A = this chain, B = another copy of it.
Amino acid sequence: MDKPTITIYDVAREAGVSIATVSRVMNGNANVKPATKEKVEKVIADLGYRPNAVARGLASRKTTTVGLIIPDLTDQYFAELARGIEDVANMYNYQIILSSSNGSEIKNDLIDNLLGKQVDGIIFMGNQVSSEIEERLLSIDLPVVLTGALDTQKKLPSVNIDYFNAFRDATLHLIENDHRRIAFISGLLSKYTKQDYKFQGYEDAIAQHGINHDDKLIFQAGYTYEAGYQLAQAVKTSGATAAVITTDEMAAGVLNGLTDLGLHLPQDFELISNNSQLTRMTRPAMSSITQPIYDIGAVSMRMLTKLMGHEELDDTQIELMHGFTTRDSTAK
């Protein structure tokens, strides 16, 4: 039934060499006479030999596999990050093992699974890093990169933008458009997380203009479109005339919710979102912070390949440039 799988032994026999030599040519080891190399390569091609990565992984203790921890596959932001990660992983011949928590909190056993699979490294993306997970990631003996995430101690390698200044600028933009009651809408806030830095930027901007912090203008909910949509009524009631929103799905929900409540954006309400393809798909299209999402993913993975290769890194806390794009949910 099952075709006998062809192994390194078959290649060795056919080529009249030892399996060590076959292994050497497969691994590009220089110490092989060109003639034998050619011979072996021909046999490999003829037999259609495909090395068993599992055996290889066991023998070499490297699986050329990385774990990707992702909160939600259907979130545009994470999907775009993942795309950058995937492309670079392919480039360096790493495969990705998916580890998704699908909306619920990221748990320790996801990491256990990945360790069991002997991944060579881990990419962690998420809106926050719980202290439990942070401890765990710091304690395991494996390269880890946080993609679009920060640990509270800033000890783990990470790739991000400057959330503080990005949201500070966004808020200032709204203040310049004459808003005084500006809502800050995000997922749950906890200290020293990405969302918290965004919040600090918001606070800094309003303080600078003598605007008092008003708890009623701070909204915390889930990150989803639904959560945002549900929030619209409360946002309207709060008397806010504008909002900065930390995630796009949520921003789209708020936008549509407000529209469905009869508000016209940007005339009645201005809104700034956080940049993914979604910003272009809504109507009005959402003005947003621009961040190089794909690049954040790509740079993260590149960093991880370096760490896995024990290369020296000048900087393990990378911040990529961000900007601001005016679309149609702000007056200018």
Contact = CB atoms under 8 A, between A and B. Distances in A.
Interface string A80-91: 101100110000
Interface string A229-260: 00000000000000000000000100010010
A118 interface: yes
Q: How many A residues are at the interface, by size bracket? A: 35 or more
A117 B93 CA distance: 12
A282 B283 contact: yes
A112 B83 CA distance: 21
Contacts of A65: 97, 117
Contact of A98 (B50, B68, B115, B225): B68
Given A73-B79, A277-B225, A55 B58 contact: yes
A86 B68 contact: no
A80 B115 CA distance: 27
Most buried by B among A50, A73, A99: A73
Interface in A266-290: 277-278, 280-283
Given A63-B54, A281-B252, A281-B256, A97 B100 contact: no
Interface of A: 2-3, 50-55, 57-58, 63, 65, 68, 72-74, 76, 79-80, 82-83, 86-87, 95-100, 102, 112-113, 115-118, 141, 225, 252, 256, 259, 277-278, 280-283
Given A50-B112, A53-B117, A259-B283, 9 more contacts: A50-B116, A65-B117, A83-B100, A86-B102, A95-B113, A252-B281, A256-B280, A256-B281, A282-B283
